[in-house]
Chains A and B, each alone.
Chain A
Amino acid sequence: MNKCYSYKSVALLAAVISLFAFSGQASAGDELNCVMCHKHRGLSRIDENGEFRLFYINQELFDSGPHRRNKCKDCHTDIDRIPHKPAQKVDCAQECHIVEPSGKRNFTHKPIAETLARSAHGKLDAEGNPKLFQEDYPACKDCHDQPFYRPVSVYKGTVHPGVSERAISRCKSCHKSGDFAEDFYEHVTSRLRKTRFPTETIDVCAKCHQDPQFRKRHELDDVVTTYKQTFHGKLIALGSEKTPDCLDCHVVAGENTHLIESQTVPTSAVYKENVPATCRTEECHTRAGPNLAGFQTHVTYEREKYPMQFYMLMGFKGLMAVVLYFFLTLIFLELLRRLFPNFTFIKDKNEGEDPQQRGR
C-alpha cells in the first residue's frame, strides 16, 4: 500500500482522535515503562524513506482503545531492551498474551488474517500465485487505522453512546475485581452498533479505490464516485445510517466482513446469481423480485459500458441546454430591448392609429 497510506497520517489522526477520546483508567500494559520516553510529544524522526515518523503515544487515547489491556511487548515482540533499535512492523496475526475467555487460549487475529487472504483483498490468487502489484493489497492496519471504540449505553430502553454506569453496576455486583466488567461491557456493546459510521467505511475503501493510479494498475472502475451518485450514497452523505455502505452489499449476510470477494467468484455477495439475495436481506429490499439484481449500481456513464445511461444523459443535457439557452437569450435580448424601445432598422408601416387594426 505505498502512497495510499503512511504513518504520518496515522499519527495525525491519532492526534485528532485524542481530542475526542474520553479519559481512561491507568494503563495496565507498560511493564517496561515505555511511556517514559514515548510520552514526549516531540518524539519523532525522519526515517530512511524520508518520511516523518511520530513515536508519541497518547496515553488517554491508548487507554480508551481496544488494545488497552495489551502490554507493549505483546505486539512489539522484537523489543527486548531499552533503548531499542528501530522496531519491526507489528504482525497482527501473532499470539498476544491476552487469554481469550471462551477458549482459555492466547488471543490472536490470525483467523481474520486467514479470511482476508481468501478474499479479493488477499495477496495470492486462487492458485496460490502472488497477484500483480503486491504492495497494493491491504494489511490489517491499512483499514483499521481509526481505533474508534463506541460502546452503547443501554438502560431502561434508552440508547446513547458511552458506558452505562447503571447497567454496569449490575455486572459489578459479581465481577468486582479490576476493570473486568468495564472491559467486557465495552467489548460486547461496541459490537452492537456499527463500529464505524458508513461515511468512515466509505472513506476507508476510497483510500485505494478512488486513487486514479491504483485503479489504472488494477483496471478498476471508480466505484466510490459512482456509489456516491446512487441514492444509497446520497442518503449516507445526508446523515442516514440506515442505508447500505460498501460492506453491506459486498459481504455475504452473516459472513465475516473480512471476506469481500470479487464479483467473479460464485460465493461472492455481488456474484450475478447472488445479487437478488443480497438486495433482499432482512433490513433492505425485502419485497424485491429477482429483477432488482439487474439494477446497475456503479454506473460510470461510459459509452461502451453503459450505452443506455450515456445516451439518456446526453439527451437530457442537450434538451436542457437547448431550452435554457433559448429562453435565457430571449430574456437577455428582451431586457436589452427595453433600453432602446423605439429603435429599429425598418419602421413598421402598419403602425396605424386605427384601433381595429391593432388587434391583428
Chain B
Amino acid sequence: MPRYDPIVYKDGKRYFYRFSVHQRVQHVILFSSVLLLALTGFPLRHAEEPWAKPLYDFMGGPDIAPLIHRAAGTVLLGLFVYHTIYWIVLFIRNDLGKLKAEGRLSFRSGVKAFFSQEMIPNRKDVRDFVQLWKYLLYFTNRPPRHDKMSWREKFDYFAPYWGIPILGPAGVVLWWRDEISHIVPGIVLNAAYIMHTDEALLAVLFLFFVHWYNVHYAPEKFPAATVWLTGYLTENEMIHEHYALYVKVMIEEGLEDEIKPQHFAGQEYDW
C-alpha cells in the first residue's frame, strides 16, 4: 500500500489526503458503468419520448445497446462484489489485526471495531444531522463539524449498497429470463421488471440531482470537484465539509497555530 501524506503543498496551498488511487479507480469504474447503464437503459424505459430513439440509436440501437447494458451491469456487479471483499479484507487486516496484535481481540471488541469504521453511521452523525437542520432553520450560526465521512457522504456511499442488491439481481433475472423461468414463477419477472426500472429511476435521479449537486452544481464546486482525480481536498473544502477532521489533522501535523476558523457560505472562497 502506498503511503499518502496527510497534507501536501502545491503552489503554496495546502491539500488534505482523502482517497487512495485504489479507491479512485474503483470510483471511475463505478461511475463509468453506471453512466453506460443509464444511457442504454433510460431510452428503453422512456421509449415513447422523442429523445429516446436518437439516444438509443447513438448507443447502438436495439441490437447493440442491450449488449453494452449487460456488459456494464456485469462490471458493476463485479465491482460491487470486489469492493465488499476489499472492505472485509481491510477490516480484518487493519481493525481486527490491530486488536489481535494488542491481544484484545474478542467478539465484543470485534463488533465494536466494526461499528467504529469510518463509513459506518454513528452517534456523531445524528448530532451533525440535528445541528445541520438547526443551522438551516436559523436556530444556530454554527454549521456541523464533520469528521472524515459526513452523514451525507455515508448516505451516498450506502446508496449503491441498497440500489445494487435490488437492481442487480432483478437485471440478472430479466437477462436470463428463459433459464430462470424453469425455476421461479413467471410473476417474479413482473416483480423484477418493476424493481429494475423503478429503482433505476430513483438511483439516477438521486445521482443526477443530489450527488451531482454535492460534487458539481454546488457554487463552490462548479463545474466539478477534483478530489475524485487527485485524491486530495483543498483547504477550503476541508474546512467547509470536514472541520472536525481538519482540526485533528492540523494538530497532528503540528500546525495548530495555522488553524483557520470555521466559516460557511463561502465568504472566503474565491468564486
Chain A residues at the B interface, C-beta cutoff of 8 Å? 228, 231, 233-235, 237-240, 242-243, 285-296, 299, 308-309, 312-313, 316-317, 319-320, 323-324, 327-328, 330-331, 333-335, 337-348, 350-351, 353, 355-356, 358-360
B171 within 8 A of A: no
Query: Given A238-B53, A348-B142, A359-B145, are A289 and B243 also a contact pair (CB < 8 Å)?
Result: no
Seed contacts A240-B61, A309-B191, A313-B194; 8 additional CB < 8 Å A-B pairs: A237-B48, A291-B183, A296-B190, A312-B194, A327-B206, A339-B265, A355-B256, A355-B259
CA distance in complex: A292, B177 (Å): 8
Mark B5-49 against chain A: 1 for CB-CB distance below 8 A, else 0.
000000000000000000000000000000000000001110110
Question: Which residue, of B182, B243, B267, has the highest number of chain A Cβ atoms within 10 A?
Answer: B182
Judging by beta carbons under 8 Å apart, are B198 and A331 in contact?
no
- Given contacts A296-B187, A351-B142, A316 and B198 within 8 Å (CB-CB): yes
Q: Complex: how many Å from CA A294 to CA B182?
A: 11
Contacting pair B47 A337 (CB below 8 A): no
Report which of A242, A285, A299 forms a contact with B62, defined as CB distance below 8 A: A242
- Which of the residues A235, A239, A348 comes within 8 Å of B57, measured between beta carbons? A239
Q: Is the CB of B53 within 8 A of A334?
A: no
Interface pick from B72-80, B108-116, B133-141: B133-141
DSSP majority for the A interface? helix
Known: A239-B62, A294-B186, A308-B190. A358 touches B136 (CB 8 A): no
Q: Enumerate 30 A-B pairs (CB-CB under 8 Å) in ascending A order.
A: A228-B47, A231-B44, A234-B44, A237-B53, A238-B57, A239-B56, A239-B62, A240-B61, A240-B62, A243-B62, A289-B182, A291-B181, A292-B189, A293-B186, A294-B185, A295-B181, A308-B190, A324-B205, A328-B209, A334-B136, A337-B138, A338-B266, A339-B265, A341-B265, A344-B141, A345-B139, A355-B256, A358-B261, A359-B145, A359-B251
Residues of B contacting A288 in the complex (Cβ-Cβ under 8 angstroms): 177-178, 181-182
Chain A residues near B164 (CB-CB < 8 A): none
**CB-based contact A291/B185 at 8 Å:** yes
> Are the C-beta atoms of A238 and B136 separated by less than 8 Å?
no
Closest to B245 in A: A359
State A184–B194 Cα separation when bound (angstroms): 49
Q: How large is the interface on B (under 10, 10 to 19, 20 to 34, 35 or more residues)?
A: 35 or more
Measured CB to CB, the nearest residue on chain B to A289 is: B182
Contact of B265 among A312, A337, A350 (CB under 8 A): A337
Q: Provide the residues of chain B in CB contact with A343, threshold 8 Å.
A: 138, 141
Are A337 and B256 within 8 A (Cβ)?
no
Chain A nearest CB from B40 CB (Å) reads 11
CA distance A356 to B45 in the complex (A): 53
Which residue of chain A has its CB nearest to the CB of B124?
A360
A286 to B182, CA, bound (A): 12
Bound complex: CA A299 to CA B186 (Å): 13
Q: What CA separation (Å) do A292 and B205 show in the bound complex?
A: 32
The answer to whether A333 and B178 have CB atoms under 8 Å apart is no
CB distance from A308 to the nearest CB of B (A): 7
Question: Cβ of B206 and Cβ of A323 under 8 Å apart?
Answer: yes
Interface residue? B210 (CB, 8 A): yes
Asked if residues A342 and B141 are in contact (CB atoms below 8 Å), the reply is yes
- Contact check, B141 vs A239: say whether CB atoms are below 8 A apart: no
Chain B residues with CB under 8 Å of A316's CB are 194-195, 198-199, 201-202
CB nearest to B214 among chain A residues: A331
Contacts of B219 in A (CB 8 A): 335, 338
Chain B hits for A312, CB < 8 A: 191, 194-195, 198
Nearest chain-A residue to B141 (Cβ)? A344
Complex-state Cα separation, A360 to B142, whole angstroms = 12
Select A239's contact among B53, B135, B205, B264, beta carbons within 8 Å: B53
Residue on B nearest A343 in the bound complex, by CB = B138
Residue B225 lies at the interface, judged by CB distance under 8 Å to chain A: no
Which residues of B in the span 96-145 have a Cβ within 8 Å of any Cβ on A? 135-142, 145
CB pair B141–A348 under 8 Å, yes or no, is yes
B217's nearest neighbour on chain A, judged by CB, is A331
Contact of A295 among B53, B57, B142, B189 (CB under 8 A): B189
Residue from B57, B145, B210, B248 whose CB has the most chain A CB atoms within 10 Å: B210
